[in-house]
Amino acid sequence: MRFQVEKGKKKMVLDIFISIFTEVIKEPIMEFIVVPIKRHISYPFIYKSKVETLHREAEQLKNKRLKLQQSVDEATRKGEEIYESVNKWMIDAGKAIEEAEEFIQGEEQAKKRCFVGLCPDLKTRYLLSKKAEKKALAIDTLRNEGDLDSISFRPRLLQIVASSVYHREALNSRVLFEASYGCSERS
State which amino acid sits at residue 26: K
Averaged confidence pLDDT in the chain: 79
The answer to whether residues 40 and 125 touch, using CB atoms and an 8 Å cutoff, is: no
List of residues 6+ apart from 43 with CB closer than 8 A: 50, 125, 126, 129, 130, 133
Among residues 38, 44, 39, 69, the alpha carbon closest in space to that of 146 is found at: 69
The span from the CA of 127 to the CA of 119, in Å, is 16
Q: Residue 157 phi/psi, 5° resolution?
A: -75, 140
Alpha-carbon 141 to chain mean position? 3
The secondary structure of the chain in percent helix, strand, coil, rounded to multiples of 5, reads 75, 5, 20
pLDDT tens readout for residues 113-170? 666 666 777 788 888 889 999 999 999 999 998 777 788 888 877 776 555 555 555 5
Cα Rg, the chain, nearest whole Å: 37
Q: Record the pTM.
A: 0.65
